[in-house]
């Protein structure tokens, strides 16, 4: 399992050197950034499998780098993206279809009231900085 810093580095590399077409693969991109095997078929399922005590709903400035962010608005499958630094993160399909890009943590289409649902929990252990 990669640390949060290593996952951010992995995402930054994917921006210019994608290893695959990331279209509709948000949950897959986050788990691969963390170096983990699959644990859910969608972001919504991953969110729902996360213990409630491990989910946080805060403003972007309180989200630690390397955390998994979840958006459940407006879509059956939800959305997952990785927190970066300074209120930014990394997401698929937000700026370019099938690509990973740097994005604001509070994604207008996926967050409510500029707050982000996030976790450091995975079924394989907690994400370390």
Q: How far apart (Å, rounded) are the C-alpha atoms in residues 81 and 102?
A: 10
User: Is the pLDDT at 101 greater than 70, yes or no?
Assistant: yes
88 neighbors 94 (Cβ within 8 angstroms):
no
Which residues are CB-neighbours of 120 under 8 A, at least 6 positions away? 4, 54, 64, 66, 67, 68, 126, 127
Least confident stretch, 56-60, 64-68, 97-101, 110-114: 110-114
Say whether pLDDT at 73 is over 80. no
- What's the rounded mean pLDDT across residues 50-70? 96
Distance CA 67, CA 30 (A): 10
| Residue 115 · residue 57 · CB < 8 Å | yes
d(CA 60, CA 105): 6
Q: How confident is the model at residue 74 (pLDDT cuts 50, 70, 90)?
A: low
In this prediction, residue 72 has a pLDDT band, given cuts at 50, 70 and 90, of confident
Calpha distance 129→84 (Å, rounded): 11
- For the entire predicted model, the pTM comes to 0.95
- Given the candidates 3.90.1720.10, 3.40.50.300, 3.50.50.60, 3.90.550.10, the CATH classification of the domain at 4-119 is 3.90.1720.10
> Domain extents for the chain?
4-119
């Amino acid at each position: 399992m990669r640390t949060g810093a290593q996952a951010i580095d992995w995402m930054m590399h994917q921006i210019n050197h994608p290893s695959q077409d990331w279209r509709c693969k948000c949950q897959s991109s986050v788990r691969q950034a963390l170096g983990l095997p699959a644990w859910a078929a969608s972001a919504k399922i991953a969110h729902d499998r996360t213990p409630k005590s491990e989910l946080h709903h805060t403003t972007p400035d309180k989200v630690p780098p390397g955390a998994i962010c979840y958006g459940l608005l407006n879509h059956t499958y939800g959305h997952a993206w990785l927190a970066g630094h300074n209120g930014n993160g990394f997401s698929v399909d937000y700026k370019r279809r099938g690509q990973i890009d740097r994005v604001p943590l509070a994604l207008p289409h996926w967050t409510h009231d500029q707050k982000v649902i996030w976790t450091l929990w995975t079924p394989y252990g907690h994400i370390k900085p």
